[in-house]
Structure 1
Amino acid sequence: MTIFVSPQSLPALVLNADYRPLSYYPLSLWSWQDAVKAVFLDRVQIVAEYDQAVSSPSFSMRLPSVVCLKTYIKPSRFPAFTRFNVFLRDRFECQYCGSPNELTFDHVIPRRCGGQTTWENVVAACSPCNLKKGGVMPKEAGMIPQQKPYRPSVQDLHNNGRMFPPNFLHESWMDYLYWDVELQP
């Protein structure tokens, strides 16, 4: 799964006040227009710039490629329970067969058996596996999820998000992405 980012749109990487990206997946990017507006509102400092500039009759500035918030935003500890975040937790793979295609989600303990729509009971599943399992218990169907569903932390999703970088990463962003990954000798 790839998030499409157009290099021609000149997006700005947004860092929190601690110089870490606000999020890794989707990568925290602003349009060049939003970045310029934030500069004028004095909400960010420019860390790096593109070669391209915008001009008015009385002003010219190079477009920011990396901006850093002046005020720290405390990240939430636990992410929202959304379909996208379930897929990200499960690395965009069916938890029964490993397929990345036709993803939906499955209640491990079916709702008809009292299963709830929670982090601890929902997994990513491809449509064929979801249909095959139906409304029966995993052992009955002979389909046990590859990993037990769990409530991920934001850090869990960030770690998984690093496996799915956008199609475009500007060179000026590289010093701020993945800096906490262990270096190889």
Structure 2
Amino acid sequence: MFAANPALVLNADFMPLSYFPLSLFNWEDAIKAVVKGSHVVVAEYDQVVRSPSTTMRLPLAIALREYVRPPARVAFTRFNVFLRDRFRCQYCGDQHLRGALTFDHVVPRVDGGQTCWSNIVAACEPCNTRKGRFRMKPLRAPFEPTQHDLMASQRLFPPNFMHETWLDFLYWDAELER
């Protein structure tokens, strides 16, 4: 009945807890969080739910009552490497779907290269195969991104489902048009 009515979950500073995946609760969990008191309703859908004693509009966006500090360091994952590199091969510069990219060591492991932020880039299969023979260098040196770096990249790849009113919460700190 209300399956298409998820609630955007925001931190106490009204920023999403996560962009990838977008922090969402199904409508039941959103109502439970509000009733329990851990979250407050920020915006509502027009649809209502009823219990024997209460009538409530479905939450569209909810925010935590207490701020949750994001992790100090970004997790070193394959997805975060691709996100840092904006799903572009760091050798040819072409953008690819996530499944078409590989996790590439700039300095190969056989030559002492480590599996770390400063030695891993996203590469397409053809470039990954050619780079050793042609001594290709990445277009941009690999680096350890900050939360801010990844959030800037995440904004370039909006989620598949997004209620139009969520834009106010997802991109509130984006530069305004002139």
Establish whether TM, by shorter chain, passes 0.5.
Answer: yes
Residue equivalent to 2:116? 118
Unaligned 5+ runs, structure 2? none
Partner residue of 1:4? none
1:161 aligns with 2:148: no
Q: Mapping of 1:127-166 within 5 angstroms?
A: 127-133=125-131, 136=132, 141-166=134-159
For 1:124, give the aligned amino acid: A
Q: Give the distance between the partners of 1:39 and 1:96, measured in 2 at CA.
A: 48
SS in structure 2 at match of 1:85? helix
Amino acid at match of 2:73: F
Q: Which residue of 2 aligns with 1:44?
A: 39
Which of 29, 40, 60 is the aligned partner of 1:34? 29
> 1:17-32 counterparts in 2 under 5 A?
17-32=12-27
**In 2, Cα distance between the equivalents of 1:87 and 1:158?**
13
More helix by share: 2
Match of 1:174 among 167, 170, 173: 167
Q: Give % identity.
A: 57
CA distance in 1, matches of 2:46, 2:127: 49
**Alignment RMSD (CA, Å):** 1.8
Deviates more, 1:53-62 or 1:16-25: 53-62
Q: Is the 8 A contact 1:26 1:161 kept in 2?
A: no
Does the aligned pair in 1 maintain the 2:9–2:61 contact within 8 Å?
Answer: yes
- Residue aligning to 2:96: 100
Tell me how far apart the structure 1 counterparts of residues 33 and 80 of structure 2 sit (CA, whole Å): 28
Extract unaligned runs of 5+ from structure 1. Answer: 1-6
Q: What TM-score do you get using the length of structure 1 for normalisation? A: 0.86
User: Tell me, what secondary structure is at the counterpart of 1:34?
Assistant: helix
Question: How far apart, in 2, do the equivalents of 1:72 and 1:105 lie?
Answer: 34
Residue identity matched to 2:28:
Q
* CA drift at 1:155: 0.4
Cα shift readout 1:76-127 (whole Å, capped 9, x = no counterpart): 2321000110010000111112241411110000000011110000001112
How many residues end up aligned between the 2 structures?
174
